[in-house]
Amino acid sequence: MNIDYNETIPNNVGLADDRRLLRALERWQPAYLQWWNDVGPVETSDFEVYLRTAISVDANGWAHYGHLRMPEYRWGIFLTPPEENRQIAFGQHKGEPVWNDVPGEYRTELRRLIVTQGDTEPASVEQQRDLGRTCPSLYDLRNLFQVNVEEGRHLWAMVYLLHAHFGRDGREEADEMLERHAGDPDKPRILEAFNESTDDWLSFFMFTYFQDRDGKFQLAALAESGFDPLSRTCRFMLTEEAHHMFVGESGIMRVVKRTCELMREHDSEDVRPHGGIDLGTIQKFINFHYSICLDLFGSERSTNAANYYSMGLKGRYQETKIDDDHVLTDAHVIVPRVEGDHIATEEMAALPAMNLKLREDFAMDSQRGLNRFNKAIREYGLDVELTLPDPAFNRNIGIFRDINATPEGRLISDDEWQTRKYDWLPSPDDYAFVRSLMVPVIEPGKMAGWISPPKRGIHGKPIDYDYVLFH
Amino acid sequence: MIEFSTHPDHYKHWQLSIDDRVATLALDVREDGGIEPGYDLKLNSYDLGVDIELYDAVQRLRFEHPDVGAVIITSAKDRVFCAGANISMLAQSAHGAKVNFCKFTNETRNGIEDASAHSGQRYLCVINGTAAGGGYELALATDHIILVDDGASAVSLPEVPLLAVLPGTGGLTRVVDKRHVRRDRADFFCTTGEGMRGKRALEWDLVDELAPRSRLTEAAGTRAAALAAQTDRPTGAQGISLTPLQRDIGDGEIAYRHVTVTFDRAGRTATFRLRGPDGPPPQDAAAIHAEGDRFWPLAFARELDDAILHLRFNEPELGTWILTTSGDGDHVAAADSALLANGSDWLAREITLYFKRTLKRLDVSSRSLIALIEPGSCFTGSLLELALAADRSYMLDGAFEGSNVAPATVRPTAMNFGPLPMCNGLTRLESRFLNDSSKVAEIEAETGNDLDAKAAEELGLVTFIPDDIDWEDEVRIAIEARASFSPDALTAMEANLRFAGPETIESKIFARLTAWQNWVFQRPNAVGEGGALKLYGTGKQPDFDRKRV
């Protein structure tokens, strides 16, 4: 087979001359395309979508716009160019030169980190595969597909690391990424939040707001890695992840604004009869997505997390900007603890609490967007505030797993939880209502009634641009 | 005090359910249910308390559920089978506690294999999530391993790479000796922390069968039914109840109905006073069933079993166990023949097997065993095994002066020639006279005969036969000398002398694997301040002494 790999797979890793990578990709690429066709976006192979493609890592190359069919998207492999003389910034190898090859002693741990991260990328594509049928506008449909192809590229990025650095095991793991599927009872995705379905657009915006923000923090922590290829890969991925969060935050903002408009117009909180999504329902969706995303960070006390840090494999968010010794063997932190009927605190060693640290950074970042939503609500003269639920609320992992708590963090009984959970989480009726609004709008420039138009279009194009061409 | 008796009604960590011929034991460890404070039993990891319940369940399945032909071991937790022995528990345990814990868990797993091999209760393991370390070792003790093929669940033995110790609950031994995994593959498997999933685990013979998540229950049911169909256990039979043991524990002794152990703390000895049946035991199966757990061999074995465990865990300083018996040898012989004559009866078979396992527990106890054979004793048949299990035995030649109790005798029965083998696969007599089967034959020719001290010495059944005048001093000096030696050296010496002859999987686990593990457990690379076991969970990385020893 004579394929110009540098053309079909844009890259800055010297792919065409790398026998090991070529051998791995010859098998994996067809399997990936098959996967895209089988469980990627439903019935979209003919659509021409106005997409951004990264064709190089320089300023001109990373955002190349044009209409194209998604299966022909050029999924590329990019690493941010190496930093000269970069040193490991934390853990017991602090100050040593970064590794360009996998250290044998950490092979298993690195592989597990890469596989866990990689598994989330195709999962979200699978979770969102039906959304194209109910888009609120062409603009949003294009954004969905942009997110999808980039999640696909992020899978490529992780698979590249597996193929390039982990030999036969890496190739097997790369194959498994295409064999596990979101919500598949037999071969589910590794992390639970990536097995939930995303079948309405409010969920999609929440997903890109919360789950992709988890992605941002995970990638940021991996970008600190002493294993330089992982660090450089993640740094490049972060530029794309930012766009996904933009889709989420602007999406929720537009829904909130539309709701506020309807509230003012009809002087009522109940905007459902007028085709809007009431703020109460939006709050419930926030409660659900935020709480399952906290689970993604793992247990507050984690041996793996401690090891990853000490080994120099996964750092903290913005590690180098933190003012401490970056070794932390003698550091302590305060962690929550369930004590009878209330939540107290205790001191524990900082290393095993790494997950909690990253989770708290995520929480602060999540709150920033909510502040902007609340500012917008106030601008409509309304006295309502959207909030993040307490970390004890609706948890399946970690110290709050076995207790029930209200969004305010008050511990309650099983009975009370059963009776009241749909006061706080979307009920089947809420989902049914939101789904009832999901009617496709594909006329350029038109918006569904439950969402306001965006401020501006993509890449200088007008809002009523033909972002997706159907054939 | 560590307590070994429990009941399914009180289990914290296991769910036992029975559906016709198939029982299911589902592991559902309560995180805050550790037997000691100081650790959480996360991810279905286990400690001694979890294993005590497992031992109880395996015993009850044999005795209380005669119609169960197959037992499924699985986990009630989603996506987690068992993470093995709890690391924090091991890290905080003293050396002796670790060793005791490992020995007991090994005995329980051997008991599972014994049930599969001899009881017609075949064990299979359904791994529905991650099975790491002791979790996979539990699976290895079963006849058939089904692993969920979900792209994530793996079997692994990560002890070497993660903890700098060994998979010491039979893992290393069973991988190569039982499952016949090639040694080079086993080497790779035991050094990869993540273990093996799905297809490769099957190809490498680490598991027997794969099933997708949605078909796992069905596959387990099919396999269990097929195994149950091979059983020779009866249908519709009534099991017997293992009622709570009656015992009194005082400071100086622990007393059961047939077993009393008195403690001499100053002398660091425990004296077992073991009593034969009170009267003639029943001979036919129906009457044995009617007596149930009051039938002497069973009642005796349960009490001795409990006493051994109690002393092992709660009385570590009583380093010498003196074994004495009293009662009527005829009754013991009658009990032996009742068991053997009803060998096709499931209950009689179970009791014999249990007697065998209890003696094995004695064999591998790290205590000096000295049998004293005095007038009024009944070292007959099954009880003669106690004298043969001892490191040394003293038999009084003649009677005590001024006593009208007849001189002591010992008597072989058919029990001494097959039904009660040691872990090396040989009877205690075969081990005693390795490579001299004529000696065993000579003794077998005396089956049913009471042998006095001189005859017993001549046949090699006893070590010394002091007379009335020498007895007290000889025995006292032997016991005092014993108590003065290094306990470590004695344990090591006894373990080497007791098991002459061939090796079996069981003997390798107790000798080779356990000995190496106990060595590793002492080494700074595992348990020193910078050792991997000590640091596990802290994120601090071990600092190994790189010298090979």
Each residue of B400-410: pLDDT tens digit? 999 999 999 99
pLDDT in tens, B422-435: 999 999 999 999 98
Question: Is A309 close to B539, i.e. CB distance below 8 A?
Answer: yes
Instruction: Give the model's pLDDT for residue A396.
Output: 93
Instruction: Give the model's pLDDT for residue B443.
Output: 98
User: Smallest Cβ distance to A180: which of B151, B192, B214?
Assistant: B151
Instruction: Give the model's pLDDT for residue A23.
Output: 86
Whether the Cβ atoms of residue A240 and residue A393 lie closer than 8 Å to each other: no
Confidence band for A122, pLDDT divided at 50, 70 and 90: very high
Separation of alpha carbons B324 and B431, rounded Å = 22
Question: Is B537 close to A306, i.e. CB distance below 8 A?
Answer: yes
Q: Where are the alpha helices (DSSP H) in A166-192?
A: 167-179
Whether the Cβ atoms of residue B446 and residue B429 lie closer than 8 Å to each other: no
Instruction: Give the model's pLDDT for residue A322.
Output: 95
Instruction: Give the model's pLDDT for residue B68.
Output: 97
Whether the Cβ atoms of residue A123 and residue A182 lie closer than 8 Å to each other: yes
The residue segments making up the domain with residue A51 are 5-469
Interface mutation vs chain A, best among B80, B149, B150, B157, most A CBs within 10 Å? B150
- Please give the structure tokens belonging to residue B45: 């990891």
Indicate if the pLDDT at residue A1 is higher than 60: no
B12 to chain A nearest CA, in Å? 16
A183 to chain B nearest CA, in Å? 12
Residues of B in contact with A179 (CB under 8 A): 151
B192 to chain A nearest CA, in Å? 7
Q: Beta-strand (E) ranges in B47-177?
A: 70-75, 79-82, 122-127, 129-132, 144-148, 154-156
Chain A residues touching chain B at CB-CB below 8 Å: 92, 108-109, 111-112, 172, 176, 179-180, 185-188, 190, 303, 305-307, 309-311, 328-329, 349, 351-352, 354, 402
**Per-residue pLDDT averaged across A252-279, rounded?**
96
B215 to chain A nearest CA, in Å? 8
Question: Is A351 close to B538, i.e. CB distance below 8 A?
Answer: yes
Residues of A in contact with B194 (CB under 8 A): 108, 111-112
Question: Is A92 close to B541, i.e. CB distance below 8 A?
Answer: yes
Q: Give me the number of domains chain A comprises.
A: 1
Instruction: Give the model's pLDDT for residue A57.
Output: 83
Confidence band for A3, pLDDT divided at 50, 70 and 90: low
Question: Is B152 close to A179, i.e. CB distance below 8 A?
Answer: no
**Per-residue pLDDT averaged across A302-321, rounded?**
95
A329 to chain B nearest CA, in Å? 7
Residues of A in contact with B130 (CB under 8 A): none
B540 to chain A nearest CA, in Å? 6
pTM of the entire structure?
0.90
Instruction: Give the model's pLDDT for residue A55.
Output: 85
Q: Beta-strand (E) ranges in B314-441?
A: 320-326, 368-373, 379-380, 392-395, 410-411
The per-residue pLDDT of chain B, averaged, comes to: 96
Question: Is A349 close to B539, i.e. CB distance below 8 A?
Answer: yes
In chain B, the percentage of residues whose pLDDT exceeds 70 is: 100
Separation of alpha carbons B125 and B510, rounded Å = 23
Residues of A in contact with B200 (CB under 8 A): 172
pLDDT in tens, B475-530: 999 999 999 999 999 999 999 999 999 999 999 999 999 999 999 999 999 999 99
Confidence band for A196, pLDDT divided at 50, 70 and 90: confident
Question: Is A352 close to B539, i.e. CB distance below 8 A?
Answer: yes
Question: Is A303 close to B539, i.e. CB distance below 8 A?
Answer: yes
Indicate if the pLDDT at residue B137 is higher than 60: yes
Indicate if the pLDDT at residue B126 is higher than 90: yes
**Which domains, ranges and CATH numbers included, belong to chain B?**
8-229 (3.90.226.10), 248-498 (3.90.226.10)
The residue among B327, B445, B429 whose CA lies nearest residue B385 is B429
Instruction: Give the model's pLDDT for residue B515.
Output: 92
In three-state secondary structure terms, B19 is: strand
Confidence band for A135, pLDDT divided at 50, 70 and 90: very high
Question: Is A310 close to B149, i.e. CB distance below 8 A?
Answer: no
Separation of alpha carbons B495 and B99, rounded Å = 14
| Confidence check on the interface: ipTM exceeds 0.95, yes or no | no
Rg value, chain A, Cα: 23
Residue A212 is part of a domain; what is its CATH number?
1.10.620.20
Separation of alpha carbons A128 and A77, rounded Å = 23
Question: Is A352 close to B149, i.e. CB distance below 8 A?
Answer: no
In chain B, the percentage of residues whose pLDDT exceeds 90 is: 96
Indicate if the pLDDT at residue A2 is higher than 70: no
Question: Is A108 close to B152, i.e. CB distance below 8 A?
Answer: no
Instruction: Give the model's pLDDT for residue A106.
Output: 93
pLDDT in tens, B350-381: 999 999 999 999 999 999 999 999 999 999 99
